[in-house]
Amino acid sequence: MITAQALAICIFTAAQTYSVPPTVILGVLNVESGKVGMASPNTNGTYDLGPMQINTIWMPELAGYWGVSEKTALRWVRDDACVNIGVGAWILRKKMNETGSLVGGIGGYHSGTQSLGSSYRRKVLSAMQRYRLVRQPSDLVMGYGRGARRAPG
């Protein structure tokens, strides 16, 4: 079990490393509701792993970055909260870079399909408002640039 203090360090480290607002990471964590060790099956045969529910489609790329087997990458993402949050922030950054915006990145984190991404984005923004991480969605300043293209780990 990870302590609240350790979780905060993981969130802020990932946020700083990938230039993603920590409030967005918290919003995604709230919507995903995953847990360390969790592997949730999807209808397409993939699984969502750990606290940020990282899809197993990312395992080949992560294994390559880390120089480990896909099985090891899967275990790290599923069973280590800090690794999971770091990978989640990395995915958010990749999607922000692809879409050119923070809100586009939030939607893209969930799906490349516009309607599914829009629905997910609304859920994340709603969670952020509910927990007073933002007053309104427009409070999310687009000041987070296109930097931080580092590979996870």
**What average pLDDT values come out for the chain (153 residues) when binned by 10 residues?**
91 97 95 96 97 98 98 98 98 96 92 77 88 65 44 54
Residue whose pair of structure tokens reads 């984005």 in the numeric block: 121
* Calpha distance 58→56 (Å, rounded): 5
- Give pLDDT, residue 140: 59
- Give pLDDT, residue 76: 98
User: Structure pTM?
Assistant: 0.85
* Calpha distance 58→77 (Å, rounded): 10
